[in-house]
Amino acid sequence: MKGVFLDYASIDSGDLDRSLLAASLESWDWHDASDPGQVAGRIHGADIVVSNKVALDRTVLAGAPDLKLICIAATGTDKIDLDAARERGIQVSNVVRYATPAVVQHVFSLILALSTKLIPYHEEVKAGEWQAQGNFCLLNHPIREIAGKTLGIVGAGELGQGVARVAECFGMQVLFARRPGSRGPQPGRIPLQELLPQVDVLSLHVPLAENTRGLLGAAELALMKPDALLINTARGGILDEAALAHALRQGHLGGAGIDVLAQEPPADDNPLLAPDIPNLILTPHTAWASREARQRLLDEIAQNITAFRQGRARNCVNCSPS
Protein backbone atom coordinates (compact mmCIF):
# COMPACT_ATOMS: atom_id res chain seq x y z
CA MET A 1 0.00 0.00 0.00
CA LYS A 2 1.11 3.53 -0.74
CA GLY A 3 0.91 6.43 1.70
CA VAL A 4 1.30 10.18 1.18
CA PHE A 5 2.07 12.66 3.94
CA LEU A 6 1.03 16.07 2.63
CA ASP A 7 2.56 18.44 5.21
CA TYR A 8 5.16 16.58 7.22
CA ALA A 9 7.15 19.71 8.10
CA SER A 10 4.17 20.98 10.10
CA ILE A 11 4.97 18.27 12.65
CA ASP A 12 8.66 17.42 12.46
CA SER A 13 11.47 19.97 12.51
CA GLY A 14 14.07 17.20 12.39
CA ASP A 15 13.83 16.14 16.02
CA LEU A 16 11.43 13.17 15.72
CA ASP A 17 11.76 9.46 14.99
CA ARG A 18 9.41 8.52 12.15
CA SER A 19 10.54 4.91 11.86
CA LEU A 20 7.30 3.45 13.28
CA LEU A 21 5.21 5.45 10.82
CA ALA A 22 7.53 4.67 7.91
CA ALA A 23 7.29 0.95 8.66
CA SER A 24 3.48 0.97 8.68
CA LEU A 25 3.35 0.97 4.85
CA GLU A 26 5.42 -0.43 2.03
CA SER A 27 5.75 2.91 0.22
CA TRP A 28 5.61 6.57 1.27
CA ASP A 29 5.74 9.94 -0.44
CA TRP A 30 6.83 12.59 2.07
CA HIS A 31 6.02 16.24 1.34
CA ASP A 32 7.04 19.01 3.72
CA ALA A 33 4.08 21.10 2.53
CA SER A 34 1.41 21.00 -0.18
CA ASP A 35 -0.23 23.95 -1.87
CA PRO A 36 -3.92 23.53 -2.77
CA GLY A 37 -3.07 23.12 -6.44
CA GLN A 38 -0.69 20.25 -5.69
CA VAL A 39 -2.98 18.13 -3.53
CA ALA A 40 -5.02 16.33 -6.19
CA GLY A 41 -1.95 15.17 -8.08
CA ARG A 42 -0.15 14.05 -4.96
CA ILE A 43 -2.97 11.92 -3.54
CA HIS A 44 -3.97 10.34 -6.88
CA GLY A 45 -3.03 6.68 -6.65
CA ALA A 46 -2.53 6.76 -2.87
CA ASP A 47 -4.20 4.26 -0.56
CA ILE A 48 -3.62 6.31 2.60
CA VAL A 49 -3.18 10.05 3.02
CA VAL A 50 -1.93 11.84 6.11
CA SER A 51 -2.76 15.52 6.50
CA ASN A 52 -2.35 17.94 9.35
CA LYS A 53 -3.77 21.19 7.96
CA VAL A 54 -4.13 20.50 4.22
CA ALA A 55 -7.81 20.62 3.25
CA LEU A 56 -9.34 17.58 1.58
CA ASP A 57 -12.71 18.54 0.12
CA ARG A 58 -15.25 16.70 -2.01
CA THR A 59 -13.67 17.69 -5.32
CA VAL A 60 -10.18 16.59 -4.28
CA LEU A 61 -11.44 13.29 -2.88
CA ALA A 62 -13.30 12.53 -6.12
CA GLY A 63 -9.95 12.48 -7.91
CA ALA A 64 -8.46 9.85 -5.60
CA PRO A 65 -10.22 6.59 -6.52
CA ASP A 66 -7.74 4.38 -4.64
CA LEU A 67 -7.94 6.28 -1.38
CA LYS A 68 -9.08 4.13 1.55
CA LEU A 69 -7.95 5.96 4.69
CA ILE A 70 -7.32 9.57 5.67
CA CYS A 71 -5.28 10.04 8.81
CA ILE A 72 -5.63 13.48 10.35
CA ALA A 73 -2.39 14.42 12.08
CA ALA A 74 -4.39 16.29 14.70
CA THR A 75 -7.62 16.03 16.67
CA GLY A 76 -9.74 18.60 14.82
CA THR A 77 -11.60 17.43 11.73
CA ASP A 78 -12.60 20.76 10.15
CA LYS A 79 -10.14 20.41 7.22
CA ILE A 80 -11.73 17.17 5.95
CA ASP A 81 -15.09 16.74 4.22
CA LEU A 82 -16.25 13.85 6.40
CA ASP A 83 -19.51 13.30 4.52
CA ALA A 84 -17.78 13.09 1.15
CA ALA A 85 -15.24 10.66 2.58
CA ARG A 86 -17.98 8.48 4.04
CA GLU A 87 -19.88 8.44 0.74
CA ARG A 88 -16.74 7.23 -1.04
CA GLY A 89 -16.05 4.57 1.60
CA ILE A 90 -12.97 6.38 2.90
CA GLN A 91 -12.33 6.02 6.62
CA VAL A 92 -11.11 9.11 8.45
CA SER A 93 -9.14 8.70 11.68
CA ASN A 94 -7.78 11.40 13.94
CA VAL A 95 -5.48 11.40 16.98
CA VAL A 96 -6.71 12.26 20.46
CA ARG A 97 -5.11 12.92 23.84
CA TYR A 98 -1.60 13.12 22.45
CA ALA A 99 -1.00 16.79 23.35
CA THR A 100 -2.85 17.18 26.65
CA PRO A 101 0.25 17.75 28.83
CA ALA A 102 1.67 20.27 26.35
CA VAL A 103 -1.57 22.24 25.96
CA VAL A 104 -2.28 22.34 29.69
CA GLN A 105 1.28 23.52 30.31
CA HIS A 106 0.89 26.23 27.67
CA VAL A 107 -2.45 27.42 29.06
CA PHE A 108 -0.93 27.99 32.48
CA SER A 109 2.19 29.54 30.97
CA LEU A 110 -0.10 32.19 29.48
CA ILE A 111 -2.24 32.59 32.61
CA LEU A 112 0.80 32.96 34.86
CA ALA A 113 2.70 35.26 32.50
CA LEU A 114 -0.29 37.60 32.25
CA SER A 115 -1.07 37.45 35.98
CA THR A 116 2.51 38.17 37.04
CA LYS A 117 3.18 40.69 34.24
CA LEU A 118 6.18 38.56 33.37
CA ILE A 119 6.85 40.04 29.94
CA PRO A 120 6.54 43.75 30.89
CA TYR A 121 8.86 43.28 33.86
CA HIS A 122 11.34 41.33 31.75
CA GLU A 123 11.36 44.09 29.13
CA GLU A 124 11.87 46.76 31.79
CA VAL A 125 14.87 44.93 33.25
CA LYS A 126 16.39 44.65 29.78
CA ALA A 127 15.76 48.37 29.26
CA GLY A 128 17.64 49.23 32.47
CA GLU A 129 14.67 50.49 34.49
CA TRP A 130 15.37 48.24 37.50
CA GLN A 131 19.00 49.26 37.57
CA ALA A 132 18.17 52.96 37.28
CA GLN A 133 15.83 53.36 40.24
CA GLY A 134 16.58 53.24 43.96
CA ASN A 135 14.08 50.68 45.21
CA PHE A 136 15.06 47.01 45.48
CA CYS A 137 12.13 46.02 43.24
CA LEU A 138 9.90 47.39 40.51
CA LEU A 139 6.19 47.79 41.20
CA ASN A 140 5.15 49.30 37.89
CA HIS A 141 2.53 46.66 37.04
CA PRO A 142 -0.10 45.08 39.29
CA ILE A 143 0.46 41.38 39.99
CA ARG A 144 -2.47 39.08 40.72
CA GLU A 145 -2.51 35.72 42.42
CA ILE A 146 -4.61 33.10 40.68
CA ALA A 147 -5.36 31.24 43.93
CA GLY A 148 -8.97 31.87 44.84
CA LYS A 149 -9.86 33.11 41.35
CA THR A 150 -12.56 31.57 39.16
CA LEU A 151 -11.60 29.81 35.94
CA GLY A 152 -14.29 29.32 33.32
CA ILE A 153 -13.73 26.55 30.79
CA VAL A 154 -15.57 26.23 27.49
CA GLY A 155 -15.17 22.60 26.46
CA ALA A 156 -15.22 19.75 28.97
CA GLY A 157 -13.32 17.19 26.93
CA GLU A 158 -9.82 15.85 27.45
CA LEU A 159 -8.12 19.26 27.32
CA GLY A 160 -10.71 21.13 29.36
CA GLN A 161 -10.63 18.49 32.07
CA GLY A 162 -6.83 18.55 32.09
CA VAL A 163 -6.80 22.31 32.58
CA ALA A 164 -9.40 21.98 35.35
CA ARG A 165 -7.27 19.49 37.28
CA VAL A 166 -4.26 21.80 37.28
CA ALA A 167 -6.38 24.84 38.12
CA GLU A 168 -7.62 23.14 41.25
CA CYS A 169 -4.01 22.53 42.30
CA PHE A 170 -3.49 26.31 42.08
CA GLY A 171 -6.51 26.83 44.31
CA MET A 172 -8.81 28.09 41.59
CA GLN A 173 -12.54 27.49 41.43
CA VAL A 174 -13.54 25.89 38.13
CA LEU A 175 -16.80 26.45 36.25
CA PHE A 176 -17.68 24.68 33.01
CA ALA A 177 -19.82 26.30 30.35
CA ARG A 178 -22.77 24.47 28.89
CA ARG A 179 -21.76 23.07 25.52
CA PRO A 180 -22.79 25.51 22.74
CA GLY A 181 -25.86 24.33 20.88
CA SER A 182 -26.58 21.48 23.30
CA ARG A 183 -30.18 20.66 24.13
CA GLY A 184 -29.93 17.73 26.51
CA PRO A 185 -29.25 18.03 30.25
CA GLN A 186 -25.71 18.85 31.31
CA PRO A 187 -25.67 18.83 35.10
CA GLY A 188 -23.27 21.33 36.63
CA ARG A 189 -22.74 23.26 33.41
CA ILE A 190 -23.58 26.95 33.18
CA PRO A 191 -24.90 28.71 30.06
CA LEU A 192 -22.12 30.78 28.52
CA GLN A 193 -23.97 34.08 28.97
CA GLU A 194 -24.24 33.38 32.70
CA LEU A 195 -20.71 32.08 33.08
CA LEU A 196 -18.87 34.99 31.45
CA PRO A 197 -19.57 37.63 34.15
CA GLN A 198 -18.43 35.24 36.88
CA VAL A 199 -14.97 34.26 35.71
CA ASP A 200 -11.56 35.81 36.30
CA VAL A 201 -10.02 33.66 33.56
CA LEU A 202 -11.75 32.10 30.56
CA SER A 203 -10.06 29.25 28.68
CA LEU A 204 -11.38 27.85 25.38
CA HIS A 205 -11.15 24.14 24.56
CA VAL A 206 -13.78 23.40 21.92
CA PRO A 207 -13.27 22.37 18.29
CA LEU A 208 -14.14 24.71 15.46
CA ALA A 209 -17.61 23.73 14.25
CA GLU A 210 -20.80 25.44 13.15
CA ASN A 211 -21.94 25.84 16.75
CA THR A 212 -18.61 27.30 17.93
CA ARG A 213 -17.58 29.52 15.03
CA GLY A 214 -17.75 33.13 16.23
CA LEU A 215 -18.71 31.95 19.70
CA LEU A 216 -17.07 34.94 21.41
CA GLY A 217 -17.77 38.30 19.84
CA ALA A 218 -18.09 41.85 21.09
CA ALA A 219 -21.31 41.14 22.99
CA GLU A 220 -19.82 38.17 24.84
CA LEU A 221 -16.55 39.96 25.65
CA ALA A 222 -18.55 42.86 27.07
CA LEU A 223 -20.05 40.48 29.63
CA MET A 224 -16.65 39.64 31.11
CA LYS A 225 -15.01 41.44 34.04
CA PRO A 226 -12.76 44.33 32.98
CA ASP A 227 -9.75 42.61 34.60
CA ALA A 228 -10.56 39.10 33.32
CA LEU A 229 -8.09 37.11 31.22
CA LEU A 230 -8.99 35.26 28.04
CA ILE A 231 -6.97 32.24 26.89
CA ASN A 232 -7.48 30.60 23.51
CA THR A 233 -5.48 27.51 22.60
CA ALA A 234 -8.36 25.94 20.65
CA ARG A 235 -9.10 27.42 17.21
CA GLY A 236 -8.92 30.98 15.96
CA GLY A 237 -12.36 31.07 14.35
CA ILE A 238 -14.03 30.69 17.73
CA LEU A 239 -13.10 34.25 18.65
CA ASP A 240 -13.76 37.60 16.95
CA GLU A 241 -10.21 38.92 16.71
CA ALA A 242 -11.15 42.53 15.94
CA ALA A 243 -13.52 42.59 18.91
CA LEU A 244 -10.77 41.26 21.19
CA ALA A 245 -8.30 43.87 19.96
CA HIS A 246 -10.85 46.61 20.67
CA ALA A 247 -11.68 45.25 24.14
CA LEU A 248 -7.99 45.17 25.12
CA ARG A 249 -7.34 48.67 23.80
CA GLN A 250 -10.33 50.03 25.70
CA GLY A 251 -9.37 48.28 28.94
CA HIS A 252 -12.49 46.12 28.88
CA LEU A 253 -10.36 43.01 29.49
CA GLY A 254 -7.34 42.51 31.72
CA GLY A 255 -5.38 40.55 29.13
CA ALA A 256 -5.40 37.74 26.62
CA GLY A 257 -3.16 34.81 25.73
CA ILE A 258 -3.81 33.67 22.17
CA ASP A 259 -2.14 30.70 20.49
CA VAL A 260 -4.42 30.38 17.44
CA LEU A 261 -5.73 32.74 14.79
CA ALA A 262 -8.49 32.41 12.21
CA GLN A 263 -5.94 32.49 9.38
CA GLU A 264 -2.62 30.71 9.90
CA PRO A 265 -0.06 31.90 9.16
CA PRO A 266 -1.73 35.27 9.69
CA ALA A 267 -1.76 38.17 7.29
CA ASP A 268 0.14 41.27 8.35
CA ASP A 269 -3.14 43.16 8.79
CA ASN A 270 -4.57 40.74 11.36
CA PRO A 271 -6.05 43.00 14.07
CA LEU A 272 -4.22 41.17 16.84
CA LEU A 273 -0.81 41.85 15.26
CA ALA A 274 -1.13 45.61 15.73
CA PRO A 275 1.71 46.89 17.94
CA ASP A 276 -0.46 49.01 20.23
CA ILE A 277 -2.56 46.28 21.85
CA PRO A 278 -1.84 46.07 25.58
CA ASN A 279 -1.70 42.94 27.76
CA LEU A 280 -1.70 40.55 24.83
CA ILE A 281 0.56 37.53 24.43
CA LEU A 282 0.54 35.85 21.01
CA THR A 283 2.18 32.49 20.38
CA PRO A 284 2.36 30.85 16.91
CA HIS A 285 0.06 27.83 17.42
CA THR A 286 2.63 26.05 19.58
CA ALA A 287 0.53 24.98 22.57
CA TRP A 288 0.45 21.41 21.24
CA ALA A 289 4.00 21.32 19.93
CA SER A 290 6.26 19.82 22.59
CA ARG A 291 8.65 17.26 21.17
CA GLU A 292 7.02 14.58 23.29
CA ALA A 293 3.55 15.43 22.00
CA ARG A 294 4.67 15.48 18.37
CA GLN A 295 6.37 12.10 18.78
CA ARG A 296 3.21 10.66 20.31
CA LEU A 297 1.28 12.06 17.36
CA LEU A 298 3.47 10.30 14.78
CA ASP A 299 3.30 7.02 16.67
CA GLU A 300 -0.49 7.27 17.02
CA ILE A 301 -0.87 7.81 13.27
CA ALA A 302 1.19 4.68 12.72
CA GLN A 303 -1.09 2.75 15.06
CA ASN A 304 -4.18 4.05 13.24
CA ILE A 305 -2.74 2.78 9.95
CA THR A 306 -1.77 -0.59 11.41
CA ALA A 307 -5.23 -1.04 12.90
CA PHE A 308 -6.85 -0.17 9.58
CA ARG A 309 -4.75 -2.75 7.76
CA GLN A 310 -5.82 -5.31 10.33
CA GLY A 311 -9.47 -4.52 9.71
CA ARG A 312 -10.02 -2.42 12.85
CA ALA A 313 -11.42 1.10 12.85
CA ARG A 314 -9.24 2.97 15.32
CA ASN A 315 -10.09 6.60 16.17
CA CYS A 316 -12.53 6.68 13.26
CA VAL A 317 -14.46 9.96 13.11
CA ASN A 318 -16.77 9.21 10.20
CA CYS A 319 -17.71 5.59 10.91
CA SER A 320 -21.34 4.72 11.52
CA PRO A 321 -22.07 3.99 15.18
CA SER A 322 -22.12 0.25 15.89
Q: Over the stretch 4-39, which tens digit does the pLDDT of each residue have?
A: 999 999 999 999 999 999 999 999 999 999 999 999
- Which of the four pLDDT bands, split at 50, 70 and 90, describes residue 186? confident
235 is catalytic: yes
Same domain (yes/no): 182, 79: no
Residue 322 has pLDDT above 70, yes or no: no
Q: Which residues contact 182 (CB under 8 A, 6 or more apart)?
A: none
Per the structure, the count of domains in the chain is: 2
Same domain (yes/no): 38, 85: yes
Residue 39's alpha-carbon distances to 77, 97, 321, in angstroms, are 18, 28, 30
Residue 10 lies in a domain: yes
Q: How far is 257 from 233, CA to CA, in rounded Å?
A: 8
285 is catalytic: yes
Same domain (yes/no): 36, 162: no
Of 18, 178, 179, 235, catalytic = 235
Same domain (yes/no): 89, 136: no
Range of the domain at 131: 100-282
Same domain (yes/no): 90, 105: no
Of 179, 285, 294, 296, catalytic = 285
Q: Which amino acid is at 225?
A: K
264 is catalytic: yes
The pLDDT of residue 210 is 85
Residue 315 lies in a domain: no
Helix ranges (H only) for the chain are 19-22, 36-43, 58-62, 82-87, 100-116, 118-126, 129-132, 158-169, 192-195, 218-222, 241-249, 291-309
Same domain (yes/no): 178, 249: yes
Residue 122 lies in a domain: yes
Q: At what angle do helices 118-126 and 100-116 cross, to 10 degrees?
A: 60
Same domain (yes/no): 252, 112: yes
- Which of the four pLDDT bands, split at 50, 70 and 90, describes residue 187? confident
Residue 318 lies in a domain: no
Same domain (yes/no): 232, 246: yes
- Residues β-bridged to residue 128: none
Same domain (yes/no): 216, 111: yes
Which percentage of the chain shows pLDDT scores above 70?
A: 98
Range with lowest mean pLDDT among 60-74, 185-199, 288-302: 185-199
Of 194, 264, 292, 312, catalytic = 264
Same domain (yes/no): 171, 259: yes
Looking up residue 87, the CATH number of its domain turns out to be 3.40.50.720
The pLDDT of residue 321 is 64
Same domain (yes/no): 79, 117: no
Nearest to 97 by CA among 317, 306, 293, 304: 293
Residue 52 lies in a domain: yes
Same domain (yes/no): 264, 194: yes
This prediction has a pTM of 0.90
